[in-house]
Structures are given as structure tokens and as C-alpha cells.
Amino acid sequence: MAKGAHQGGQGGKLVTAITRLEAPEAELKALLKQLNAAAGTGGEERRPWA
């Protein structure tokens, strides 16, 4: 898993990207939901390779 933070195309807001995380689809969606709830933010799943 790699994680990076960058500001680009988000109106100056900080974005954290988690990449190369391998797990079953259902587990990834559950993890995303938990991360969004813990951070108090919205979020989305992007798969540039799909």
C-alpha cells in the first residue's frame, strides 16, 4: 500500500490517495466507508487501471 497527499485539481484542498491496496471488493468498500466516517469527510473510490 502506498499513501500520498497532494493538492491538484481539488480547489486547493488536501487530498490523500491510498494506492495498491489489495483486498476483496466488499472489504475495500467497507474500509472506504470507515475511513470516510473517521475523517468526517466524503470520499470516492477511483480505479485508474479499470
pLDDT at 6: 56
Cα–Cα distance between 21 and 2 in angstroms, integer?
8
pLDDT one-digit tens code per residue, 1-50:
555 555 555 567 777 778 888 889 899 889 888 988 888 877 777 766 55
User: Shortest CA distance to 45 belongs to which of 7, 27, 9, 13?
Assistant: 27
pLDDT at 16: 78
pLDDT at 32: 86
Residue pair 3/17 in contact (Cβ under 8 Å)? The answer is yes
pLDDT at 4: 59
